[in-house]
Amino acid sequence: MAISDPRHETDDSVLADVLIVGAGFAGMYMLIKARQLGLSAVVLEAASGVGGTWRANRYPGARVDVQSLEYSYSFDEALQQEWRWTERYASQPELLRYANHVADRFSLRRDIRFDTRLTDALWDEASARWLVAADTGERWSARFLVMASGPLSTPNTPNFEGLDTFRGKIFHTAKWPLEPVDFSGLRVGVIGTGSSGVQVIPQIASQARDLTVFQRTAAYAVPAHNGPLDPAFEARIKADYAGFRERNRRMRTGFGSETPPNMVSALTASPEELAARFEERWRIGGFTLLGAFYDIMLDERANALAAEFVRGKIRGIVRDPEIAERLSPRQTIGCKRLCVDSAGYYETFNRPNVSLVDVSETPIERITPGGAVVGAREYELDALVLATGFDAMTGTLARLNIRGRKGLSLQEKWRPGPLNYLGLATAGFPNLFNVAGAGSTSAFTSVLVSIEHHIDWIGDCIAWLNARGLGAIEAKEEAEAEWMEHVQAMARQTVFLTCNSWYLGANIPGKPRLFMPLTGGYPPYAARCAEVAAKGYEGFRVA
Ligand code: NA7
């Protein structure tokens, strides 16, 4: 049961220096950091185990879209040397094993409260502490509250009429059951063709009797060329892992230093050079395509050349020209996150048991007990898979009762959008830090790089306060306003405002259309955060 005001029963609350929400990669590293600083810390985790997103998104085909050697912790040399990834792009089960390995290796579980969801957090002015309540009835009082609850952790289930009348089973990719699901012999519908849809569709197609894909926006899917991790490549990286991490941190995305962007404009390249560079990047795979020319994400004309290259690939893969046309995206490429494909997404539509229904013009009208109605037609289904994404960046925090100074509710404050300073803090909420969320470059990086950066920064900040006997730190309104303008101004220099994406909140009806993550690259962002700290936490008020 939610407790609306945790002040009522503070006598039985447990004291901690740091209360951390979430035991995914961010929460686990924050716990390690707190211990390094000699602070007491407790982690509240709603699930029954560690792993966060890699525990929840256990649908068949789930896999990371950044190479394993770059999507891993760098803070501990022994850890990064001992862990052996089996594939270039790790699968969800392997990522979950890695998360469990880290939890074991650093004995994290003793400070993690599983099956415990934070419901309320209230800033108590008198004690300068956060008073926190969980759905288990337990209470904590903590000096610092670190939200490591993930930017993509609240699944979006569209409000389809009749969804509750459906007779078959309904699955959401982000809330996949613990037990494996068997689709053999079933007529399955998948709604959604973002990264999750692109990964799950080939898997279901190979099992189900019939698969109907309901597509609102066609996806750009580039090959990952996944496979066993080459031992020679692994040995080369591990011979100087620290150097590799350092080179990656100088990249805009925090990864990919082995294939840096080509600093040539697509607009000045000859047709032969365009074709050669795009083909080269297609062969390498993954996000490298967007770096074939430096201006693909900055100039719509350059972007159109890359987009047309991928449409050409789709026409070459999909045998039925009419289906190829329907699968060909029209929006700018990379504007919605590029999908990295390990299972032959476009090839799947050559299978006789797979059909594609375009719901861009004629949306899904309703779900019936036996299927889905689009236009005048009912598609008969035995199971329905929602690959419909997340209420990204704000969904999780805005659903909690978090109250800062003078009872200010975060829900209220964030109604116009996630107002923040450096992506780390929000005015009116002292000693509250948000990890890898809105206002930071996390969405455009290997998120592990962003997580480590944020947590190192938070750790340094807490140590700085403690060294000076200071109790509280809070973003100033003017610094926050300036930062929000900076985030918008940076986005205006890119192609990111030309489509409807979760970056803009555009996937959730009624959500304010505001560009949430920071573009412009990780290095300048990290430099700005460092500069703020070096100037005695410029833009923050300390007490
Ligand atoms: P995404 O990328 O938000 O994709 C969700 C998909 O679901 C997308 O194709 C949506 O179409 C579709 N969708 C959402 N609502 C509807 C309705 N009402 N009707 C039809 N189709 C709908 O989520 P993912 O889980 O795939 O990936 C999220 C991130 O996780 C990804 O970017 C990676 O960072 C990892 P739309 O495009 O909005 O037209």
State which ligand 1 atom lies nearest to the alpha carbon of 388: 7
Q: What are the tens digits of pLDDT across the range 12-28?
A: 789 999 999 999 999 99
Q: Is 435 in the pocket of ligand 1 (CB under 6 A)?
A: no
* Spans of the chain below 70 pLDDT: 1-11
Q: Is 388 in the pocket of ligand 1 (CB under 6 A)?
A: yes
State which ligand 1 atom lies nearest to the alpha carbon of 507: 38
Q: Is 366 in the pocket of ligand 1 (CB under 6 A)?
A: no
Nearest CA to ligand 1 atom 33: 195
> How open is the CA angle 291-297-300, to the nearest 5 degrees?
125
Report CA(156)–ligand 1 centroid distance (Å).
Answer: 9
Report CA(353)–ligand 1 centroid distance (Å).
Answer: 23
**C-alpha dist (Å) from residue 329 to 28, 77, 306, 313, 374:** 38, 42, 12, 12, 21
Three-class DSSP category at 162:
coil
- Listed in order, the ranges of the chain carrying CATH 3.50.50.60 are 14-154+392-542
Nearest CA to ligand 1 atom 35: 195
**Distance (Å, whole) CA 140 – CA 7:** 10
Count CA atoms within 13 Å of residue 290 on its CB side: 24
What's the pLDDT at 12?
77
DSSP H or E segment with residue 238 = helix 231-239
What token pair was written down for 28? 């686990």
Burial status of residue 534 (CB atoms within 10 A of its CB: 0-12, 13-18, 19 or more): exposed
Nearest CA to ligand 1 atom 29: 195
Nearest CA to ligand 1 atom 15: 388
State which ligand 1 atom lies nearest to the alpha carbon of 216: 39
Helix, strand and coil percent figures for the chain, each rounded to 5: 35, 20, 45
Report CA(449)–ligand 1 centroid distance (Å).
Answer: 24
What token pair was written down for 397? 């925090």
State which ligand 1 atom lies nearest to the alpha carbon of 389: 23
Report CA(472)–ligand 1 centroid distance (Å).
Answer: 39
- Ligand 1 pocket test, candidate residues 153, 191, 507, most atoms within 8 A of CB: 507
State which ligand 1 atom lies nearest to the alpha carbon of 363: 19
Nearest CA to ligand 1 atom 12: 192
**C-alpha dist (Å) from residue 370 to 163, 167, 186, 209:** 11, 6, 12, 16
Q: Is 387 in the pocket of ligand 1 (CB under 6 A)?
A: yes
**Distance (Å, whole) CA 227 – CA 224:** 9
Q: Is 66 in the pocket of ligand 1 (CB under 6 A)?
A: no
What's the pLDDT at 362?
97
Nearest CA to ligand 1 atom 36: 217
Q: Around Cβ 361, how many Cβ atoms within 10 Å? A: 7
Q: Is 152 in the pocket of ligand 1 (CB under 6 A)?
A: yes
Write down the pTM of the prediction.
Answer: 0.97
- Ligand 1 pocket test, candidate residues 196, 327, 373, 500, most atoms within 8 A of CB: 196
Report CA(160)–ligand 1 centroid distance (Å).
Answer: 15
State which ligand 1 atom lies nearest to the alpha carbon of 360: 39
**Distance (Å, whole) CA 289 – CA 365:** 37
Q: What are the tens digits of pLDDT across the range 355-400?
A: 999 999 999 999 999 999 999 999 999 999 999 999 999 999 999 9
Contacts of 132 (CB under 8 A, 6+ apart): 6, 13, 19, 44, 118, 120, 121, 122, 139, 140, 141, 142, 145
Nearest CA to ligand 1 atom 16: 388
What's the pLDDT at 1?
30
**Distance (Å, whole) CA 164 – CA 218:** 27
Residue 318's identity, in one-letter code, is V
- Ligand 1 pocket test, candidate residues 57, 161, 195, 396, most atoms within 8 A of CB: 195
Nearest CA to ligand 1 atom 18: 158
CB under 8 A, 24+ apart: contacts of 107-110 = 108/23, 108/28, 108/31, 108/32, 108/43, 108/50, 109/50
- Ligand 1 pocket test, candidate residues 198, 216, 332, 384, most atoms within 8 A of CB: 216
What's the pLDDT at 11?
58
- The answer to whether 433 and 33 are in contact (CB under 8 A) is no
State which ligand 1 atom lies nearest to the alpha carbon of 364: 19
CATH architecture observed for domain 14-154+392-542 = 3-Layer(bba) Sandwich (3.50)
DSSP H or E segment with residue 276 = helix 271-284
Q: Is 506 in the pocket of ligand 1 (CB under 6 A)?
A: no
Q: Is 192 in the pocket of ligand 1 (CB under 6 A)?
A: yes
**C-alpha dist (Å) from residue 81 to 50, 72, 232:** 22, 11, 14
